[in-house]
Structure 1
Amino acid sequence: MKTIARSIALAFLVLAIGYYLWHGLTYVPSDVFDDSMLAWVGPQMALPIIAITVVPIVFAFTGDGILQAFTGHNSAEFRDGLLGIGTVKSFHQTGLTVNDQPQIRIEFGVEGVDGKIFDAQAKMIVPLTELALLQPGVVLPVRYRPDRPDKVEVDRSGDMSAAQQAMNESMLRKGFTTRAKLDIAERGSTAQAVVQTLSVPGEIRNGHSKIELGLVVTRPDGTTFATRVEKFLPPASVGQVQVGRIISVHYLPENEQEVVVALQVNA
């Protein structure tokens, strides 16, 4: 879509200027009183003026992240791209704003569907009210093309199940979870638990620390049971499991000792 729009705009510019030059060079005065300046000054100037005005507008509004901001969808180039997990490394404003909302260039570390890690960047319009939420370490689903991994777009499909699946596969590859635990998270009962104890054995895996939690889980009928859980967490998420915190968990009623902790990725 972006390429087509820009091609049409450039073609219009070339045709408009071409017509203007052709008119001026081939103009023949109708009589001796006809000013030769009319070859260049007149209605024929309208097309080049319009073209010179339109082309920058088209290029601006088809820039990276801008069209997506207006449509709410990924560009055609990335709409069917592979879904990866992007971790924000850094970001800065480009200087361009749309309706007073800044365009941001984001540097990502992306984990592809094959588990390979690569650096990429994306541009997007970020509302001022959400700008404070964009911090290094924030994890976002992104769309990418294997033939051009240096550029990505933040996924705008709204398909949360696909994003969760991509996150699950990433956690499996890193050894942070198992298929059995993912099954519990998918079909188990949802409950709340209070963190009674927290210990850190010292094991680190892919930048995540292993923690051991002592939990008291409240069943749907109000009764409780105690259990222990081991989990690998990034440093930014440890604050979510401090002693006394209430967290969400999943478990199977027939096996209450196998409890899966559910935490927000970007809390």
Structure 2
Amino acid sequence: MKTRIRTAALAFLGLSLAYYLWASLTSTSLLPWVGGHMALPMIAITLVPMAFAFTGDSILSALTGTNSSEFRDGLMGLGTVRSVGHTGVTLNDQPQVRIDFQVEGADGQIFPAYAKMIVPLTELSLLRPGVVLPVRYLPDRTDRVEVDLSGDASAAQEAMNAAMIRKGVTTPAKLDIARRGIAAQAVVRALAVPGEIRDGHSRLDLTLVVTRPDGTSFETRTEKFLPPASVAQVQVGRIVQVHYLPENEREVVISLPVNT
């Protein structure tokens, strides 16, 4: 779409200029370069920059709610926000921002990248350093990415799971429990910090009292690696969401939101 609109605008400009030159050179008036034939080139000169501006990737994404064709089938990565700044462009009073990311690619490679997107004012405060967002990137050009707008939660979750396994903060067995296990609530009864750190995540040894769906409960112990910002969610007395398999209640997986 972007290419077609820009090509049409440039073609209109070229035809308008050609018509203007032809009309001026064949005119018999005293001022051959001035007249109604100036209207088309003036309109074209106005439309061309507008066409290029409104077919920018972030503008098109905001208008269509989808990623640009270039990134739509790009690889899924995880982008951690490093900084956010205004570009000075707005669309319907909504600002365009530049987001600088540290991206972890599908193969575990870490690289810096940026994205530009239109963000509603009500959501601007959610874009803060440390927030993790799914992004689409091109392996042969990693300097620029787009925040994933596909709504494919499963692909984003797979990327997150693969990253956590690579970092050693979870295991395939725990992910299987989270996927197949029974959802329940648990109260944190005790917490210990043995001092082990993996990729900035501290190991926490937790004692939980889990309430089964029938109202009975059982006590179990589990470990979880968490970033410093999430430790407050598992303090003693807090209620957390967990998953477990009925045939093995000793293995319990805690479910916490990524961005807190």
TM above 0.5: yes
User: Structure 2: which amino acid aligns with 1:191?
Assistant: A
Cα distance in 2, alignment partners of residues 27 and 114 from structure 1: 65
- Kindly indicate whether residue 43 of structure 2 is the aligned counterpart of residue 36 of structure 1: no
Q: How does 1:110-149 map to 2 (within 5 A)?
A: 110-149=103-142
Cα distance in 2, alignment partners of residues 115 and 202 from structure 1: 25
1:23 matched to which residue of 2?
23
The secondary structure found in structure 1 opposite 2:57 is: coil
Q: How does 1:1-267 map to 2 (within 5 A)?
A: 1-24=1-24, 26-29=25-28, 35-37=29-31, 39-267=32-260
CA deviations on 1:102-133 (whole Å, 9 max, x unpaired) are: 11100011111111001100001111111111
CA deviations on 1:196-230 (whole Å, 9 max, x unpaired) are: 12221111111111111111111000111111111
Cα distance in 2, alignment partners of residues 15 and 208 from structure 1: 62
Cα distance in 2, alignment partners of residues 208 and 7 from structure 1: 50
Cα distance in 1, alignment partners of residues 42 and 131 from structure 2: 46
Deviation at 1:63, TM superposition (A): 1.7
Deviation at 1:62, TM superposition (A): 1.4
Count how many residue pairs are aligned between Structure 1 and Structure 2.
Answer: 260
User: Structure 2: which amino acid aligns with 1:27?
Assistant: T
Cα distance in 1, alignment partners of residues 130 and 143 from structure 2: 19
The unaligned stretches of length 5 or more in structure 1 are 30-34
CA deviations on 1:167-195 (whole Å, 9 max, x unpaired) are: 00111111111111111111110001111
Cα distance in 2, alignment partners of residues 63 and 28 from structure 1: 40
User: Structure 2: which amino acid aligns with 1:257?
Assistant: R
Cα distance in 2, alignment partners of residues 147 and 246 from structure 1: 45
The secondary structure found in structure 2 opposite 1:120 is: strand
Cα distance in 2, alignment partners of residues 236 and 17 from structure 1: 61
Backbone CA RMSD of aligned residues? 1.2
After TM superposition, the score normalised by the length of structure 2 is 0.96
The unaligned stretches of length 5 or more in structure 2 are none
Cα distance in 2, alignment partners of residues 64 and 91 from structure 1: 18
User: Structure 1: which amino acid aligns with 2:18?
Assistant: G
CA deviations on 1:212-255 (whole Å, 9 max, x unpaired) are: 11111110001111111111111111122122211111100010
User: Structure 2: which amino acid aligns with 1:6?
Assistant: R
CA deviations on 1:80-115 (whole Å, 9 max, x unpaired) are: 111111110111011111111111100011111111
Cα distance in 2, alignment partners of residues 207 and 17 from structure 1: 61
Stretches of 4+ moved more than 3 A in 1? none
Cα distance in 1, alignment partners of residues 256 and 101 from structure 2: 22
After TM superposition, the score normalised by the length of structure 1 is 0.94
The secondary structure found in structure 2 opposite 1:132 is: helix
